Structure 1
Amino acid sequence: MARHEFGAGIADYVVKPSDGLWGIAPGVTVTFYDASAGGTQYADLLDAGSTAITSVTADAYGLLPRFFGPDGISGMWADAGGSTRAWIEAHNAGSSEAAAGSVRDWLNVRDFGAVGDNVTDDTAAIQAALAAAPMGGIVYLPAGAYRTSAPLTIPPAVTLQGTHTNLMTVPGLTDPPCYIRPLASFVGAAVIMLVDAATGGYSTISAEHRILNVMIDGQDLPAGTPVDGLSAKGNIQNVGLRDFTVRQCTGNGIYCGENVGINPYSWRLHRVMLDNCHGHGLSVQIMTDLTLIDVQAIGCFANGFNIINAANSQAIGCRAEWNGNNGYQVTGDWATGTGSGGMLFSGCSTDRNGFNGMLIDAVGNGPIQVENLHTRRDGRNGGAGGGGYAGLKVDTAGVPVVVGMVTCYPGTDDNGTQTNSPQYGVRVANSAYVSVASGFLHANTAGWSDGGGNAVLRRGLNIAERTGPTNDPVDAFAGPTDVAGNLNVGGYAAVASGQSGGQWNIWDGTAKALNLGSAGGGVAIKEGANARLGVSTLVGGTVTVANTSVTANTRVAPFRQAAGGTLGHLSVTKNPGVGFTITSSSNADTSTVAWVLYEPA
């Protein structure tokens, strides 16, 4: 029989790859048993140099060194002196003494010469592990600081996995160092690159890459030379990023773009942090079926999220904070034909971005849907505020923009300095179709701003406004409410007053279809030139009234307002488009007559 290899690999700390990590303290002695409690200890072990041992000692990072178990044993219960034991499994098909050609699904970069000491250039070692990984394999980065001098390229269907990723860098944090940190001498377009099949020379489509629990720390990259954290160009499909952080890279945090007319497709990002990158946090150009869940862009120099055509995509629970330009910018041509479409933003938020919290200026026919957008303190504008910026701004948008709920809350910097911003809560100008159903909009100058030039702008019934600072706001809760299209109300609608700029239709078939139910209630019709109500005086028993609104079907109803002369019976003769003549049967009738014009429905 053959001995199986343990240690120096993530497989020694998990029951299954999805079950989580079992950690131990540095320097702890670990023994091994055939049962989860009690049982018999395995004492027939060999270290990496084939010396007999009965236990192993964790290194400075709490990791086990490479060793071999007893003959034929592929799994053991590890005991580190705690209250429970953990099951570990061998990560190779056999020891170095087994037949040549055995393949490990988990490859530890330390086995390929990586050091992770924050000094040594580990580029070649990590790339060698990535190149050696089979499709479906995992390249594991034990805790450490891995320096690189050139881009790392992940092949299709290979996972790069670390032990931990920090969402923020916290002074004095006790977590062990666990990141890829490019050297100041780094040369290349991105710290990690995904390339298409033609560029990478792959025999299959470039797809199914995974990056899990990995942080890229670009603080040593030379300023002025743009280096992205992760770059992908071309036909690269179904990439998954989870617990992935990019901080202080001199380019974009993540960039996805075109190569030979083809773009990446159908990516999934979960719990991704893009922190203080010098370009955009996330820059996407034509990415169909993109899913963003709990992705945050903070402190990036350009836009937090720069999205150019992401048809059939969704962003859920994402955050854009303290970015230099817009928190989110939905821009570019989203097309109008086959394969085009819009995007859903749900439960997303902004805070203190330099320009707008969210700017939509895209063109195309696919609707951009925004549900439950929470904006706060945007429009910083270098501390000056103003600038026409808003929590949500739609400007020259050709795409339909449909907004469910949006809120805006103004403010200053965290220390109370600078100017209160944004200037507007929602600002819409020169756009094709924008509908905002509800919201609470508190901004420095105006909660709601119609900049003009809009083909269709619909404001919902439940939008409240405030202006001024947060500690002394001015309420404008009774502002005008505009409703276009159909408003269907079950039961009845009771309003204190109302106005209409368009036609009213009452389709009820009862005799009291229009009912003025209070004593003293009446109907008022404006008089004047070409009006539908007026008075005239008979001269010699007749009077001609000029009124271009008269049609062939108009019903003219004359009645005597004040008697004069010898009274007669009144009749009407119409001249469509010109007016009508009222004639009395008495030539001596000089009465003042009133008239009302009706049209058949």
Structure 2
Amino acid sequence: MARSTFGRTLADFVVRPTDGLWGVAPGTELTFWSAADGGDQYTDLINAMGAPATTIVTDENGAIPLFQGPDGVTAMWADAGGTRRARIEAHQDGAGGGGGQPGTALGWLNVLDYGASGDDSTDDTVAIQAALDACPMGGIVYLPAGAYRTSAPLTIPPAVTLQGTHTNLMTVPGLVDPPCYIKPLPSFVGGAVISFLDEIDGGYSTISAEHRIVSVMIDGSDLTEPGTDGIRARGNIQNVQLRDVTIRRVTGAGVHTEFNGGFYPYSWRLTRVMVDNTGWHGFAFEVMTDISLMDCQAIGCGASGFEIANAANSHAVGCRAEWNVGDGWHITGDWATGTGSGGMLVSGCSTDRNGANGFLIDATGNPVLQFENIHTRRDGRNNGAGGGNYAGFACNGATVPVIVGLLTCYPGVDDDGTQENSPQFGARVTGCTYVSVDAGFLHADTAGWSDGGGNAVLRRGLNIAERTGGTADPVDAFAPPTDVAGNLNVGGYAALNSGQSNGQWNIWDGGPKALNLGSAGGGIAIAEGANARMGTSTLAAGTVTVANTSVTANTRVLPFRQAAGGTLGHLSVTKNAGVGFTITSSSNTDTSAVAWVLLEPA
């Protein structure tokens, strides 16, 4: 029989979901048993130094050092003196001898078996890349807890997963958490910490696809070379998944995709990806079709949080852009006009205290961009000065149709109470082809709603309320439910029970019955009185002059005989614009009562 090797792999932690969460502190003495409760203790162990041992002590990170179990035993239960044990399994095929041969049990390759140290000082680039290159398609390269220093980009081959133990969302001073990250050395040279290569650059015999990064953190705080991305992909690279990934303080973008050889990456899924304080955009996507962003965040980045230049048929759900120097979200580029083009759905996403706009849409093309349940807050910081015509949600020169469901904006200052209140506007639309905002609550420093002019169609929904000023003493401008800026199109019947209007009505129908009073007895009533548009007068010696300042040079005066009197004649009218008009009969003995109506040409 042969001994199997344990430790320094997934076996350091839970390998059966039913076991629940199980971890140990550094320097803990572990015993090993044949059962989860009771059973026999295994004491015939061999430690990493090749010496006999009955117990194993965890290292400075709480991980289990490499050791060999008893002959023929491939699984044991570890006991750290707590209330329950955790099952661990061997990660070597039983060859025995502790010869340091790389293990491939269950398709897992441990980078420590390929010479990596994870000690926060040794250059582990060659060792990690060796594990990645050796990994078969569908396999997993495992990073146990540790700090892995690199000096050049790591390349993940197609259908290979790079997986760590856990991911810190952000570095928190004083937080006790074992390190598990890739940290480029100050001497690092290369365009990205991790790269995906297409068939052209990678020389692969198949389409480059199905790469995975799971529970990995990239810490670029020691980088000195400018423009180094966290993760970069060029060309036809399909079906990539990033899950529970954190990228912080790289000098370029957090995640960057770009053109190569006439192709772009597409069909990616990013779930719980955090990009923190990068030198450029947080997420920079160039013509990235069929992507899904779920619970992703860009915070403190040197340009825009999300820079998306055409992402046809894509989704962003529950994502956040906060404290970025530029726009929180910049949706731009040519989205095309053909049948293969498409728009994007952004739902349940938010912004906070970005330097420019929360959202800026200046994309061109014909696909629809749809935004639902958008929450913007304190954007337009503008280096603390506010103003700048920035808005929580801005559309500027967009030719794509932009459809917004529920939109909110809330202003504010920095967390410490300093700097100026911003944004200047809640929503601002300038020079766009078609923008429709259905409902929302827009509170901004100067105006909640702003029409910047030059818009072909700008529709404001029935239920948008506005506020201006600071949050402590805002000035309300609550619009009534039926207040509409622009056009309100109603299919079928519009029942206006109030029967009131305080504005001009226009009927653009070109039919002969553009205004139809369809009920028997229905008619038109026009007010009479001083300077009214209808009235009555009586001829004296065949004439009467009516004072009416509403008369213009184009007014049509329609006289009617109400009651005959004297010798009747033909009626005629002369006008004096701004003063009135005179009705004259061809008979100077005509004393009839006459009525008149004033009409204007449309």
Structure 2-normalised TM-score? 0.86
Task: Tell me the alpha carbon deviations over residues 550-589 of structure 1, each in whole angstroms, 9 at most, x when there is no partner.
Answer: 9xxxxx9974246553348999xxxxxxxxxx99999965
RMSD: 3.6
Inter-CA distance 48–507: structure 2 relative to 1 (3 Å threshold): farther
Distance 1:413 1:513, change over 3 A: farther
2:75 aligned residue: 75
After TM superposition, list the pairs within 5 Å mapping 1:40-189 onto structure 2.
40-48=40-48, 51-96=51-96, 103-104=104-105, 105-189=107-191
Whether 2:221 is the aligned partner of 1:219: answer yes
Relative to structure 1, is the Cα distance of residues 323 and 102 closer, same or farther in structure 2, using a 3 angstrom cutoff? closer
Residue 484 of structure 1 is aligned with which of 484, 487, 494? 487
Distance in 1, matches of 2:40 and 2:177, equals 35
* 3-state SS, counterpart of residue 283 of structure 1: strand
Report if the CA contact (8 A) 2:45-2:68 is conserved. yes
Q: What is the correspondence of 1:516-595 to structure 2 with a 5 Å cutoff?
A: 522-524=525-527, 559-561=560-562, 563-567=564-568, 589=590, 591=592, 593-594=594-595
Residue 503 of structure 1: aligned partner: 507
Quick check: 254-263 or 559-568, which moved more?
Answer: 559-568
**d(CA) in 1 for partners of 2:517, 2:92:** 81
> Is residue 463–residue 479 contact of structure 2 (8 Å, CA) maintained in 1?
no
Identical-residue share of aligned pairs (%) = 64
Q: CA deviation at 1:44?
A: 3.6
Contact kept, 8 Å, 2:227 with 2:252, in 1: the verdict is yes
- In the other structure, the counterpart of 2:547 is none
CA separation of 1:196 and 1:534: change in aligned 2, threshold 3 A: farther
Contact 1:247 1:277 in 2 (8 A): yes
Partners of 1:491 and 1:548 in 2: how far apart? 34
> How many angstroms does 1:523 deviate by?
3.8
| Alpha-carbon distance between aligned partners in 2 of 1:204 and 1:432, rounded to the nearest angstrom | 43
- The one-letter amino acid paired with 1:477 is F
Q: Is the 8 A contact 2:526 2:534 kept in 1?
A: no
* d(CA) in 1 for partners of 2:273, 2:81: 36
Please report how far the alpha carbon of residue 289 of structure 1 lies from its aligned counterpart in structure 2 after TM superposition.
1.0
1:366–1:513 Cα change, 3 Å:
farther
Task: Identify if the C-alpha distance between structure 1 residues 349 and 142 changes in structure 2 by more than 3 Å, giving closer, same or farther.
Answer: same
Q: CA deviation at 1:590?
A: 5.9
**2: CA distance, partners of 1:507 / 1:45:** 98
Aligned to 1:37: 37
2:364, 2:297 → 1: CA distance? Answer: 26
Instruction: State the aligned residue count.
Output: 573
The alignment partner of 1:431 has SS state of: coil
Give the counterpart letter for 1:199 in structure 2: D
Residue of structure 1 in register with 2:426 after alignment: 425
The letter for the 1-side match of 2:8 is A
Write out per-residue CA displacement over residues 341-390 of structure 1, whole angstroms, 9 at most, x where no aligned residue. Answer: 11111111111111111000000111111111111111111122111111
What SS is found at the alignment partner of 2:257?
A: strand
Q: Give the equivalent residue in structure 2 for 1:28.
A: 28
Partner of 1:265: 266
Give the unaligned 5+ runs of structure 1. Answer: 517-521, 551-555, 572-581
Q: In structure 1, what is the Cα distance between the partners aligned to 2:528 and 2:20?
A: 77
Structure 1 partner of 2:13: 13
Q: Report if the CA contact (8 A) 2:56-2:64 is conserved.
A: yes
The residue type paired with residue 317 of structure 2 is I
Aligned with 1:440: secondary structure?
strand
Structure 1 residues 533 and 45: CA distance shift in structure 2, 3 A: same
Give the drift of 1:455.
0.6
- Distance in 1 separating the partners of 2:219 and 2:102: 36
Residue aligned with 1:70, SS? coil
Q: Is the 8 A contact 2:527 2:533 kept in 1?
A: no
Structure 1 residues 327 and 388: alpha-carbon distance in aligned structure 2, compared to 1, 3 A threshold: same
Matches within 5 A, 1:389-428: 389-428=390-429
Once the 2 structures are TM-superposed, how far is the Cα of residue 218 of structure 1 from its aligned partner? 1.0
C-alpha distance in 2 between matches for 1:334 and 1:148: 38
Contact 1:393 1:428 (C-alpha < 8 Å) held by counterparts: yes
Q: Does the aligned pair in 2 maintain the 1:2–1:98 contact within 8 Å?
A: no
Contact 2:528 2:535 in 1 (8 A): no
Select between 38-47 and 334-343 the one with higher mean Cα deviation: 38-47
Give the C-alpha shift of residue 510 in structure 1: 4.4
Contact kept? 1:12, 1:89, Cα under 8 Å: no
Q: Deviations over 1:230-256 (max 9, x none)?
A: 101111111111111111111111101
- Residues 411-458 of structure 1: CA distance to partner in whole angstroms, max 9, x if unpaired? 122222222111111100100000001111111111111011101000
Deviates more, 1:384-393 or 1:501-510: 501-510
Within-5 A mapping of 1:131-530 = 131-222=133-224, 225-478=226-479, 481-487=484-490, 493-494=497-498, 497-503=501-507, 510-511=519-520, 522-524=525-527
| TM-superposed deviation, 1:304 | 0.6
CA contact (8 A) 1:305 1:329 kept: yes
SS of the residue corresponding to residue 394 of structure 2 reads: strand
CA gap of 1:120–1:470, structure 2 versus 1, over 3 A, is same
Amino acid at match of 2:15: V
Structure 1 residue 497: Cα displacement: 4.3
- Relative to structure 1, the CA distance from residue 381 to residue 440 in structure 2 (aligned partners, 3 Å threshold; closer, same or farther) is same
Q: CA deviation at 1:163?
A: 1.5
Question: Displacement, 1:90?
Answer: 2.1
* Distance in 1 between residues matched to 2:103 and 2:216, nearest whole Å: 28
Query: Does 8-17 or 488-497 show the bigger shift?
Result: 488-497
Change in CA separation of 1:403 and 1:73 when aligned onto 2, cut-off 3 Å: same
TM-score calculated relative to the size of structure 1: 0.86
Q: Which moved more, 1:97-106 or 1:27-36?
A: 97-106
Alpha carbons of 1:586 and 1:401: their partners in 2 closer, same or farther (altered >3 Å)? same
Question: SS state of the match for residue 408, structure 2?
Answer: strand
Change (3 A) 1:97 1:116: closer
Moved over 6 A (4+): 17-20, 97-102, 504-508, 525-528, 531-543, 546-550, 568-571, 582-588
CA distance in 2, matches of 1:264, 1:64: 39
SS at match of 1:3: coil
Question: 2: CA distance between counterparts of 1:152 and 1:422?
Answer: 41
SS of match in other structure, 2:200? helix
